[in-house]
Amino acid sequence: MDYQAILEEIAEEVQPFFGKGRVADYIPALAGVAPGKFGMAVHTVQGETFHWGDAAEPFSIQSISKLFTLTMAMRFIDDKIWERVGKEPSGNPFNSLVQLEYEQGIPRNPLINAGAMVITDYVISHTSDTRAAILSFVQYLAGSDGAAYDEQVARSEKETGHRNAALAHFLKSYGRLDNPVDTVLDVYFHQCSLTLSCQGLARAFLFLANQGVFPQSKARIITPRQTKRINAVMLTCGMYDAVGDFAFWVGLPGKSGVGGGIVAVDPGELCLAVWSPELNASGNSLVGAKALELFTTKTGRSIF
């Protein structure tokens, strides 16, 4: 299949959708990102790579980072992670306090903010220098495309992340966090500030398309069963309160971030990453979601 030609077709067809979303200006450090940026990258399990536009430019991956810490936590304690976090779609905004209170401090899933903090807490409990451990893991998966913390974004998140702080304190009040709230928040804000390009993301999550094995090195990252679990959670919870729309229009497990990135996995075939900073009302990349819909329509690469 000529993926390069397909990416070029998509780039043309999404042009009318630019200007209809809004950059995540509630995080001051992200407010200045050029809204017209757009990149796509595809990595196949056979080792082929394809990219278009701003695919090599690093950007703030934000909540996509939750997949990295979820993978790390599963490597450390496997199914014990589900003792403090659920597996169900939230149906509410990703930072809802009301839902967390209603459900007695048990986050609905590990990909909303409260659930991701619980997962980060697990990772902290199993590492001596958690920020370094997360960065090392991401750099290993992303390879030459690299990864780094954007300290300006991390500071901006800390200075304005009052709702996240409230979620963390609420979790602590219910005994869902073992580590100090300030420690959990520091690591969480830093993991969200990670920068990667579309090319780096498509490479980093290729193991989710290959039964948990990293195709380049043949190293096993997680087991096939754990891979199935993560892909399932991505499909049902990865796009916040728009998971139904994404499953309907795109039909792949995916995870978004308010930096405008989306990563999607076609099990057994490929990993695809897109970046366009303008967001829709659910906090997902508007142009990115349309690009993924066009990709699965043109290629037939859907799990349905």
240 labelled catalytic: yes
**Phi, psi at 280, each rounded to 5°:** -90, -175
Please give the structure tokens belonging to residue 230. 């993560």
Q: Indicate the SS3 state at residue 50.
A: strand
Percent of the chain with pLDDT over 90: 86
Residues with Cβ < 8 Å from 246, sequence gap 6 or more?
238, 239, 254, 284, 289, 292
CB contact at 8 A, 263 and 198: no
Q: Which one of 118, 181, 240, 255 is the catalytic residue?
A: 240
4-18, 100-114, 232-246, 283-297: least confident range: 100-114
Residue 159 confidence (pLDDT) above 80: yes
CA-wise closest residue to 6 among 212, 279, 231, 272: 272
Please classify residue 248 by burial: count the beta carbons closer than 10 Å to its beta carbon, then call 0-12 exposed, 13-18 middle and 19+ buried: exposed
122 labelled catalytic: no
Domains in the chain, start-ordered, CATH in brackets? 3-299 (3.40.710.10)
What pTM was computed for the model? 0.95
Model confidence band, residue 241 (pLDDT cutoffs 50, 70, 90) = confident
Helices H, strands E: what count in the chain?
Answer: 12, 10
Q: Which one of 45, 85, 213, 258 is the catalytic residue?
A: 258
Cβ neighbour number for residue 31 with a 10 Å cutoff: 12
Cβ neighbour number for residue 19 with a 10 Å cutoff: 12
Q: Indicate the SS3 state at residue 91.
A: coil
Over range 250-254, report the average pLDDT.
Answer: 98
Q: Which amino acid is at 273?
A: A
Q: Which one of 42, 45, 66, 263 is the catalytic residue?
A: 66
Residue 98 confidence (pLDDT) above 90: no
Residue 96 confidence (pLDDT) above 80: no
Residue 144 confidence (pLDDT) above 80: no
Over range 143-165, report the average pLDDT.
Answer: 90
Residues with Cβ < 8 Å from 33, sequence gap 6 or more?
23, 59, 60, 259, 260, 277
Average pLDDT score over the chain: 94
d(CA 181, CA 15): 43
Residue 127 confidence (pLDDT) above 90: yes
Q: Which one of 156, 172, 188, 243 is the catalytic residue?
A: 188
Q: Note the pLDDT of residue 108.
A: 92
Percent of the chain with pLDDT over 70: 99
66 labelled catalytic: yes
Query: Edge-to-edge strands of the sheet including 39-44?
Result: 49-53, 39-44, 270-275, 261-266, 254-256
CA-wise closest residue to 111 among 285, 231, 227: 231
20-70: pLDDT as tens digits: 999 988 888 888 899 999 999 999 999 999 999 999 999 999 999 999 999
149 labelled catalytic: no
Model confidence band, residue 165 (pLDDT cutoffs 50, 70, 90) = very high
173 labelled catalytic: no
44-58, 73-87, 145-159, 218-232: least confident range: 145-159
94-108, 155-169, 232-246: least confident range: 94-108
Over range 171-195, report the average pLDDT.
Answer: 97
Q: Note the pLDDT of residue 93.
A: 67
Residue 97 confidence (pLDDT) above 90: no
